[in-house]
Amino acid sequence: MTLFDAITTPLTRRLREGLDRIAAAMRADEWGVAEEAGLTPTQLHALTFIAGRGDAGLRLRAVAEHLGVTQPTATDSIAALARKGLVAKLPEAQDKRAVAIRVTPAGCDVVRAIGLAMTSAERALETLTPQEQQTLLALVIKTIRALQQAKAIPPQRLCVTCRHFRPYAHEDAELPHHCALVDAAFGGRHLRLDCPEHDAAPQPLLEEAWRAFERAP
């Protein structure tokens, strides 16, 4: 126990505050990006989320959970997007209570246009070395997984929770992992946070893979 252990706030507290500072910058960024498309940051988040999983049509509840807001708030935002013609709400055949929210062609255009924008957060992250970026990615993934396990956020489509993920299957230090779906090797810098092909691994398999991933060489 050193002097500084006594006088500084806990490390996790400082980490949260630091992430908060970065988040503040990202939020300010988002106003700039969103406004070009005539949207608000919340609408932008909702729209990109819906576009990213557009195939099947999304439930309102899923959007609410992803945004981390209540259902009525999600109703508001989706209504705003629908008014602007960027998403459509179709009735679901199986469940007559539910709606299937899908992105419209106009919505797709907006998402594509926005996807190219480079935020100041990304520029800041580019100042890190490739090695540092990869390290940060691994730490972010671990944190997200912990949040997911604590049910603070809904399940994410992470490589590390996927049925097809084979951690450290190869000797190659550059590309140690393997994706059984595309049957190809990949590296830590390629790990995805939201893979369209994600297929949740069953619990026992998942835990085994996670342990293998954690005790990185």
Q: Which does 180 bind (CB under 5 to 8 A by kind): its own copies, DNA, none?
A: none
| Residue 164: other Cβ atoms inside 10 A | 16
Q: For the chain, where are the E strands, in sequence order? A: 87-91, 99-103, 165-166, 177-179, 184-186
User: Which of 90, 106, 113, 139 forms a contact with its own copies (CB under 8 A)?
Assistant: 139
Cα–chain center distance at 109: 21
Contact in structure between 30 and 39 (CB atoms under 8 Å): no
Q: Which does 71 bind (CB under 5 to 8 A by kind): its own copies, DNA, none?
A: DNA
Give the 3-state secondary structure of residue 45.
helix
Residue 25: which residues within 8 A CB-CB, separation 6 or more? 120, 121, 124
Judged by CB under 7 A, the stretch of 7-15, 67-75, 131-139, 140-148 that binds DNA is: 67-75
Under the binding rule (CB under 7 A), the answer on residue 47 touching DNA is: no
CA-based angle 187:190:192, to the nearest 5?
130
Closer of 60 and 114 to DNA (Cβ): 60
Q: Which does 134 bind (CB under 5 to 8 A by kind): DNA, its own copies, none?
A: its own copies
Element (H, E) at 90: strand 87-91
Q: Which does 206 bind (CB under 5 to 8 A by kind): DNA, its own copies, none?
A: none
Residues that bind its own copies (CB under 8 A): 2-5, 8, 11-29, 45, 66-69, 119-128, 130, 132-137, 139-144, 146-147, 150, 152-153, 156, 175, 182, 184-187, 189-194
Residues that bind DNA (CB under 7 A): 27-28, 31, 35, 40, 42-43, 59-61, 67, 69-73, 75-80, 83, 89, 92, 94-99
